[in-house]
Structure 1
């Protein structure tokens, strides 16, 4: 019968060492710095030299004994270093996988947050934010940002209902509730846009392909696996959460700068804030935690799938930001409208 394992123990038997794919390595010779998520490992002297010898072999394809023989080192010495790197989280072992090993939902929740916080760092330092806060963004970029946010939020009905329909009994109440509460949130953004555009223009506007790609990935995942879908959706939700005071201050500073440099966006910003407050009132920042609390223990395959979806969602979010930044810098017409014989 499978046993429940803590996140720190959710490991394979120590046969085939693999340097984690999101790890970065800097330095050579006497000092090596290995970074993974928010962890940093510094190896010096003999440990650094040994790691440099081992690094080309850490693909998950060779056993420890074979690696030791290839680099002419004692297996015990090689294993000792690799096990220390495993404890630091930069190396994993691929063989002897216990597919029956389980991780509780709350243990996954903590693991998920740690990874997502690291994956979102690139989003938070995207150059588009600085352009807004310094007044360097064009009018088209600012309004394009508002329209793409509207299209993303308005599309919730496409994927949330599908995810709820595919949900397990434990997840169904959470997904159904979130879907019902989020269904009309696109109208909040639409109200802000109506301060600048006629309603029929807003309704006919078209999202960028990069925005559509984000929505499509949510659709695809919702059709395949509801828990993995919500894992990815939670990464997006984390960008909206302002429960932490430092996050709330950063968001407020952003909106203050936007009002200062682009006074015509006053009603738009009001709609952004109204949406955030609506999410807070509905406690959407806790939705994923409550879901994780209620689901049965997860298999290794389910854990890997859910984390991969979250990682891919972060990449789609970066694409979403890149689309706004680059397209609207070159094309000043906002919003994008469908083609017809009179427009071409």
Structure 2
């Protein structure tokens, strides 16, 4: 499926403000500072200034003049203009359009990798495990997280296989190997779920949440058109740089706060260590020469789809919390067959 996306890309983005992809992050231990991340760097911004800009950000769609953006924000005009000017100087506004044929291949690859690094970092910061570690979950949240991880890992190799089947030459061989290395890893999560109190039959007969299915469908859609996107997605979602002390602290926190056995999550982390050892998070960097896109339209769809998948994981987190903590919902989630109606 493709989208009917028609916005012109050759506008003067300083006159009708539209920005590069930008992330604004603040942390509890330094609330006075907000960090702005864009593809070419990270900037420390006073939180008060950041909050003022965010009142304008939603109008920076490329459809409103600079003065209209300021008017809609409700900010004092000079203050708002100063903020926009500072962002312009930092290169946060979208760059000037270049025809696809004029894009430097090496720069294109590095730009894609930079975006993947940003989304990987953001996913790490917003992962449901962070809330679980902080005591913001419940035992049902932990179980739901593992159940959806089971379903995701079970279907992931077949999604990669879609990319491999659509590829040629060295990329095809690389993706076939990647899919083969990922097959069967759901067994580690099944062992984890048994440690959390579930049995094999109920896990294997369960079905994923809609958000987990969405992740799988979005991956397959993207992989079928642009097989090298599987390498880029690996940079976003695969485990990297695991720390044994952090893992130990997480397992201890889960046991202490939610009443599970101390080693219940060990099989899950065993799987993560295997993936780290296989270097899947580095597939894109190690195979940059295989990252090629056939047209400008395909390039834009690729970037948007990677971004969609990142947000599908955000949606999955919300659905896990909602579904598995809603009293009366089936855990695990059940397949609805004909005789169920």
Tell me the TM-score normalized by structure 2.
Answer: 0.70
Rounded Cα–Cα distance in structure 2 between residues aligned with 1:259 and 1:154: 26
Distance apart, 1:310 and its partner CA: 2.1
- Rounded to whole Å, the distance in 1 between the matches of 2:23 and 2:130 is 26
Tell me the residue number matched to 1:92: 94
CA distance in 2, matches of 1:103, 1:323: 41
Give the corresponding residue for 1:28: none
- Residue 277 of structure 1 corresponds to 273
Q: Is the 8 A contact 1:205 1:335 kept in 2?
A: yes
Secondary structure of the structure 2 residue equivalent to 1:194: helix
The corresponding residue for 1:319 is 315
The equivalent of 2:211 in structure 1 is: 210
- The residue that corresponds to 1:337 in the other structure is 334
Deviations for 1:295-340, whole angstroms, at most 9, x for unmatched residues? 4587655544433222212101101111111111214642112235
CA deviation map 1:151-176 (0-9, x unaligned): 00001133111110011324112211
Distance 1:85 1:283 in 2: 37
> Secondary structure at the residue paired with 2:94?
strand
Asked which structure has the greater RCO (Cα within 8 Å, sep 6+), the reply is 1
| Residue 220 of structure 2: aligned partner | 219
Distance 1:134 1:100, change over 3 A: closer
CA distance in 1, matches of 2:292, 2:221: 23
RMSD across aligned positions (CA): 4.0
- The SS at the match of 2:137 is coil
Residue-pair matches, total: 293
Pairs within 5 Å for 1:158-173: 158-173=158-173
SS of the equivalent of 1:19 reads coil
Match in the other structure for 1:78 = none
Q: CA 1:56/1:280 → structure 2, altered by over 3 Å: closer, same or farther?
A: closer
Deviation at 1:255, TM superposition (A): 2.8
Partner deviation per Cα, 1:20-59 (whole Å, 9 max, x = no partner): 153489xxxxxxx9945353488xxxxxxxxxxxx98982
Distance 1:57 1:116, change over 3 A: closer
| Structure-2 change in CA distance of 1:152 and 1:203 (3 Å) | same
CA distance, structure 2, for counterparts of residue 56 and residue 170 of structure 1: 44
Gaps in structure 1 of 5+ consecutive residues: 1-11, 26-32, 43-54, 65-81
Could you tell me how far apart the structure 2 residues matched to 1:177 and 1:127 are?
Answer: 28
Note the residue ranges of structure 2 that are not aligned, 5 or more in a row.
1-8, 25-33, 46-57, 67-83
Counterpart CA distance in 2 for 1:119 and 1:88 is 20
Paired position in structure 1 for 2:176: 176
What is the deviation of 1:142?
Answer: 1.2
Mapped partners of 1:161, 1:313: distance in 2: 18
- Alpha-carbon distance in 1 for matches of 2:225, 2:127: 34
Q: 1:84 to 1:134 in 2, by over 3 A?
A: closer
State the secondary structure of the residue aligned to 1:197: coil
So what's the TM-score if we normalise by structure 1? 0.69
Q: Decide which of 306, 310, 315 is 1:310's aligned counterpart.
A: 306
CA shift for structure 1 position 60:
7.9
In structure 2, distance between residues paired with 1:121 and 1:296: 24
Bigger CA radius of gyration: 1
1:92-111 correspondence runs (5 A): 92-95=94-97, 97-104=98-105, 107-111=107-111
Q: Is the 8 A contact 2:10 2:96 kept in 1?
A: yes
Deviation larger for 168-177 or 302-311: 302-311
Q: Distance in 2 between matches of 1:132 and 1:100?
A: 47
Specify the alignment match of 2:189 in structure 1.
189
Going from structure 1 to structure 2, the CA distance change for 1:223 and 1:58 (only over 3 Å counts) comes to: closer
Distance 1:329 1:84, change over 3 A: closer
Kept after mapping to 2: 8 A contact 1:232/1:311: no
Match of 2:228, SS?
helix
Structure 1 stretch displaced more, 259-268 or 190-199: 259-268
